[in-house]
Amino acid sequence: MIDLKLIRDNPGYLDEALKKRGQDELSVTVLKLDQENREIIKELQTIQEKRNDKSKKIGELSASGKSDEAERYKNEVSNLKEKLQELEVKQRKSQKKIDDCLSRIPNIPDDSVPVGDETLNEEIKVEGKKKKIDFEPKEHFELGENLNLMSFDKASKISGSRFVVQSGLLAKLERAIANYMLDLHTSEFGYEEISVPILVKDQALFGTGTLPKFADELFKTTNDYWLIPTAEVPLSNMTREMAVDYSELPKRFVSLTPCFRSEAGAAGKDTRGIMRQHQFYKVELVSLTSEDKSYQEHERMLSCAEEVLKRLDLHYRVVVLSSQDMGFAARKTYDIEVWLPGQKAYREISSCSNCGDFQARRMNSKYKENKLSKFIHTLNGSGLAVGRTLIAVMENYQNEDGSIEIPDVLKPYMHGVDLIST
């Protein structure tokens, strides 16, 4: 949530930020709503003062035996009470208009973010080498189906499109990838593993900026719970409506959860395979930190996500997303894109975003430093998307006969299996 005071003090700053996002100016609209609300509040205060004065006068008149005059004042107080009630309703509606308007304004991009659309995303590093494959590589779904370990037909009969049934050693490999990531992030990088609910309330999604803007991209139950699109939602809300001490920060959390998305990408794109699914697993990293450590923590989170790919010996690149390609709540985002030989393309496998205090304002999540209360800075990133990591392993470690070798770091999790074959 954007600070209303910031808009009052510097409306041009907001409009310039929205311009970077490719959106229309909003400061005039916000300030008009704000002025209307402040006038109502001023009127409320004036009437309340009148009511208090007249109520005090009633006691004085009654004490002096002027009952008729006291009765007249009672009637005036009663009328003022009714007026106050009307104004309070009006003010609540006015405040809701402001809150609704502010809730739909995206975060302000950091000055280091490239300005423009996705064509201006900036590559900042390339790591590792593409594996030498001297045959025509297959895509992951060809490999999985040929091994009889990946079935979209079975999933379709159960749940429809954008679902998959994985079995045998391929299911085990997916679980091995997830467990490896969890162990790495907890044992070496200091993240605390958290088991979180996958059903959440409106306010949790509002806190992360997912609601109200992205309601159509989510799954909702019949009793008003939402299925999480990512563990970022419950993890970022861990200090909701709390004020922690500066010494407790940063808090670093990691969680493995299923994720659910009603919107599964552009129509006609990635219709085959498991690149875009309604349900998938992801290892999510979330950091809650102080303002002075925010950017440092962002670089650290990126390095933790990268390390997973380095140890899997997978070629990848890192890009900084442009102002119009970033997520709603992000101030700055790094995307990690892994090389997929079957697709002959780089594909996103992780997004690491610094949201600044944007989400914390929506969650009233604070920390105390030298008796001052400040909003926490929240950061989130995939560490990694499990299904997409499975894709990367399958396509990069495939053999000409369609078998799949197991990367060295995953072999302990496969309990002696070093090759998946027919």
Going by C-alpha positions, the residue among 163, 353, 333, 346 that lies closest to residue 261 is: 163
For residues 220 and 226, the answer to whether their CB atoms sit within 8 Å is yes
pLDDT at 69: 79
pTM above 0.85, yes or no: yes
Write out pLDDT tens, residues 193-246: 999 999 999 999 999 999 999 999 999 999 999 999 999 999 999 999 999 999
Among 94, 322, 350, 351, which one carries the catalytic annotation? Answer: 351
Q: Which two tokens stand for residue 307?
A: 């390390």
Active site residue 322: no
Is residue 319 scored above 80 in pLDDT? yes
φ, ψ of residue 159 in degrees (nearest 5): -130, -15
Annotation says 365 is catalytic: no
Structure tokens at 321: 């997303």
Half-sphere exposure of 240 (CA within 13 A, CB side): 16
| pLDDT, tens digit, 9 for 90 and up, residues 72-123 | 878 888 889 999 999 999 999 999 999 999 999 999 999 999 999 999 999 9
Q: Looking at 21, 51, 162, 261, which residue is catalytic?
A: 261
The answer to whether residues 285 and 304 touch, using CB atoms and an 8 Å cutoff, is yes
- Catalytic site residue from 307, 348, 369, 405: 348
Q: Are 143 and 170 in contact (CB under 8 A)?
A: no
Cα gap 404→401, rounded to integer Å? 9
Strand locations in 178-278 (E): 192-193, 199-200, 226-227, 243-245, 251-260
Q: Taking Cα atoms as reference points, which of 42, 37, 26 lies closest to residue 95? A: 37
Active site residue 351: yes
The residue that leads in pLDDT, 419 or 70, is 419
pLDDT band at 57, cuts 50/70/90? Answer: confident
- Do 287 and 352 touch, CB atoms closer than 8 A? no
What confidence score (pLDDT) does residue 263 get?
76
Whether 272 is catalytic: no
Q: What is the mean pLDDT of residues 275-301?
A: 97
CB 232 within 8 A of CB 286: yes
348 is catalytic: yes
Cis before 212 (ω within 30): yes
Q: Say which of 21, 162, 276, 300 is annotated catalytic.
A: 276
Instruction: Choose, from 252, 322, 388, 395, the residue flagged as catalytic.
Output: 388
Contact 237, 176 (CB under 8 A): no
Share of the chain above pLDDT 90, in %: 89
Would you state the structure tokens that stand for residue 89, as one six-digit string? 């309703």
Give the domains, in start order, of the chain with CATH numbers.
4-103 (1.10.287.40), 118-420 (3.30.930.10)
pLDDT in tens, 145-177: 999 999 999 999 999 999 999 999 999 999 999
In this prediction, residues 244-256 reach a mean pLDDT of 98
> What pLDDT, on the 0 to 100 scale, is given for residue 172?
98
Asked if residues 133 and 332 have their Cβ atoms less than 8 Å apart, the reply is no
